[in-house]
Copies of this chain bind each other. A is one copy, B any other.
Amino acid sequence: MKRDVTLVVLAAGIGKRFRPFTKDKNLFPFLGSPLIDFVLPKSLPPEVIHCVVVANGTNKEALERIRFPVPHTVVVQEEATGMAGAILAAKPHIAGKSILIVIADDVADPALMEMVMKAVRPDVFGVLTTWKPQQYFPGGYVVFRDNRPVGIKEKPGAGNTPGEYVYFGGQYIAHADRLIEAIQNGKKSGDDIYEAALTKLMSDERFTAVIYDGGFVSLKYPWHVLDMTTYLLHHRLKPGKGKNVDIRNNVSLEGVVYLGNNVKIFENTKIVGPVYVGDNTIIGNNNIIRESILGEGCVTGFNTDITRSYIGDNCWFHSNYIGDSVLEENVSMGSGSVLANLRLDEGEITSVIAEEKVGTGKTKLGAMIGEGVRIGVNVSVMPGVKIGAQSMIGAGIILDRDIPEGSYCVSKSVIDIKRNKANIASGNREHYKTKI
């Protein structure tokens, strides 16, 4: 007989490394749905009959409104103490239960939860989901003995790993009380409170590991929105066409394309899927849109190129190049402005997060732009630059640094004005016309 299981969804992360984006990571909209919808598949394993969502102070109400596949209760984690604190916050709802823990911004194959539940046997106390990164990954490496997981070493450092596998969201624990106890009696500070508790449990009880070799993406840094966009476009997008879609002459659509209600696409435009276009968005003449998500109510204007990017709702463009970039909602760009996505030396693009330079692992990365930003004409935004919400970037600026929220930037260029001595008659150019 199957045991009933409570799903614990950890959604309390406040995303301070996710700036300039101000939306809750778990609710960040992709393909017309909040991210959490992709974490919770429509058909959960049958054992899961209830769900506890651990929220933070600001996303609680939104999470209560989300439609879950099973009844759900939202609890608030008061302190930002990571997963350990999240489990403690869920305590009143999981005491005495078996639990399956998932992280709300970790998107993987929807069959993963089934895989975990299938690994549950009478003699198994816990199941870990593990994954083998291609290079060193700053996560929790699993220590195996006799093919069984017996502990976790959090961020051991490259060359110092106890094995090849890291664990991630998707843990089954037969008795939540034991986990709570291990946390309460364990370490009080450090990066690895949760992992220490789990290791204690693993030394006392029998765990098994599920090896997951599909893709998974989580939202930690702002450029991860691009990884998520790529993952969801390739794995979750279904082709479709809403009501009242208006496609003009000589538009070409290739690959998997979803067009929402009332979408218009004007002449001589090419859409190269996978591409998702939200309701009421207008794609102008002579555009190219490739491998991107466009939100609702956008207007791309004339002659815009959007490639491998994420565009929020109500963004406006006009003759822009947006490559490998993320724009939250209500961003607009003036004609001729470009989000550069490749360094001149074609090297890795870095970004400053919490005053520290972080490698992004990408050689193609454009800008990350918060909501409500206005960009003037002929602006050049350098690769990897982040622009805080509600900022304005004046015409012609070469933006080579991050801009804090609510800034107003103008270029202090100097114009030298003299008397003009030349005077060109229009007739001078007549001979050029013969060459047209």
- Name the one of B288, B398, B433 contacting A285, with C-beta atoms under 8 angstroms: B288
Interface residues of A in 225-267 (CB under 8 A from B): 248-250, 252, 264, 266-267
Q: Which chain B residues lie closer than 8 Å to A372 at the CB level?
A: 423-424, 426
- Name the one of B299, B382, B415, B432 contacting A412, with C-beta atoms under 8 angstroms: B415
A80 interfacial contact with B, CB 8 Å: no
- Verify B344–A340 contact, CB threshold 8 A: no
- Verify A395–B380 contact, CB threshold 8 A: yes
Closest-CB distance, A317 to chain B (whole angstroms): 12
A34 interfacial contact with B, CB 8 Å: no
Closest-CB distance, A348 to chain B (whole angstroms): 13
A369 interfacial contact with B, CB 8 Å: no
- Name the one of B302, B334, B417 contacting A409, with C-beta atoms under 8 angstroms: B417
Measured between alpha carbons, how far is A425 from B330 in the docked complex, in Å?
7
- Verify A288–B302 contact, CB threshold 8 A: yes
Closest-CB distance, A161 to chain B (whole angstroms): 28
Q: Which chain B residues lie closer than 8 Å to A285 at the CB level?
A: 270, 288
A195 interfacial contact with B, CB 8 Å: no
- Verify B416–A412 contact, CB threshold 8 A: yes
Which of A90-98, A123-131, A400-408 binds B? A400-408
**In the complex, which range does the number of interface residues on chain A fall in?**
35 or more
Q: A378-B338, A429-B316 are in contact. Are A411 and B409 (CB under 8 A)?
A: no
Which of A62-70, A207-215, A386-394 binds B? A386-394
Beyond the given A267-B270, A378-B398, could you list 19 further A-B residue pairs with CB under 8 A, ordered by the A residue number?
A252-B267, A264-B436, A285-B288, A305-B335, A314-B429, A336-B336, A336-B378, A338-B378, A345-B374, A346-B429, A347-B422, A380-B395, A396-B396, A397-B415, A408-B417, A408-B421, A409-B417, A411-B415, A413-B414
The 4 nearest A-B residue pairs measured at CB: A314-B426, A345-B422, A396-B398, A408-B420
Would you list 14 pairs from A and B whose C-beta atoms are within 8 A, ordered by A residue? Answer: A249-B252, A250-B250, A252-B267, A268-B286, A299-B436, A305-B335, A321-B377, A338-B378, A344-B392, A345-B392, A347-B422, A407-B417, A409-B417, A409-B418
